Amino acid sequence: MRFRNEKKDTNIMINITSLIDVVFILLIFFAVTTSFVTPSSIKVDLPKAKGEAVEEKKNIRIAVDSKGALFLDGEAVKDDELESKLKVLKDVNPEALVVIEADEKSLHGKVVFVIDKAKSADFTRFAIATEEAK
């Protein structure tokens, strides 16, 4: 009695071309939507990062120094005045980008406070300023 020797083809290939396409599209999307800005005249030590500069017109700059003091477009501002001043700026320029320039030694909570106040003033566009890594 002779048995049939039926071997099944074990060389199954999976086509991952479409998966690679999706990964590259996501990579391009995140690279294009990431924005970096240049530092302002307020003395803060920004964290290091690589990226490209954002056009500076129409930007609202909020600096947080190492002691937690706030500066709105170069002028000192108290914590309780920040939201009202941001609302005035929102009325003047509704499409403005809020650029947060936080000293690398500043507290994380202070940066979150600034973002919360900007969101309360109906801003939706934010950027964190960094220095270009060398």
CATH code of the domain in which 102 resides: 3.30.420.270
Q: Does 72 fall in a domain?
A: yes
Q: Does 2 fall in a domain?
A: no
The count of domains in the chain is: 1
| Average pLDDT over the chain, rounded to an integer | 80
Quickly state the pLDDT bin for 25 (edges 50, 70, 90): very high
Inform me whether the pLDDT recorded for 79 exceeds 80. Answer: yes
Q: Does 44 fall in a domain?
A: yes
Question: Distance (Å, rounded) from C-alpha 94 to C-alpha 124?
Answer: 10
Closest CA to 128 of 54, 72, 78: 54
Higher pLDDT, 134 or 118: 118
Q: How many CB atoms lie within 10 A of CB 70?
A: 21
Q: Does 9 fall in a domain?
A: no
Question: Distance (Å, rounded) from C-alpha 6 to C-alpha 45?
Answer: 71
Highest mean pLDDT among 2-6, 11-15, 48-52, 111-115: 111-115
Inform me whether the pLDDT recorded for 95 exceeds 60. Answer: yes
**pLDDT recorded at residue 22:** 92
Q: Does 74 fall in a domain?
A: yes
Q: Does 59 fall in a domain?
A: yes
96 SS3 class: coil
Range of the domain at 57: 32-132
Q: Does 25 fall in a domain?
A: no
β-strand pairing of 70-72 with 59-64: antiparallel
Judged on CB neighbours under 10 Å (0-12, 13-18, 19+), 39 is middle
Could you tell me the pTM of the whole model?
0.56
Tokens (6 digits) for 91: 């009325």
Q: Does 16 fall in a domain?
A: no
Higher pLDDT, 46 or 128: 128
β-strand pairing of 131-132 with 97-102: unpaired
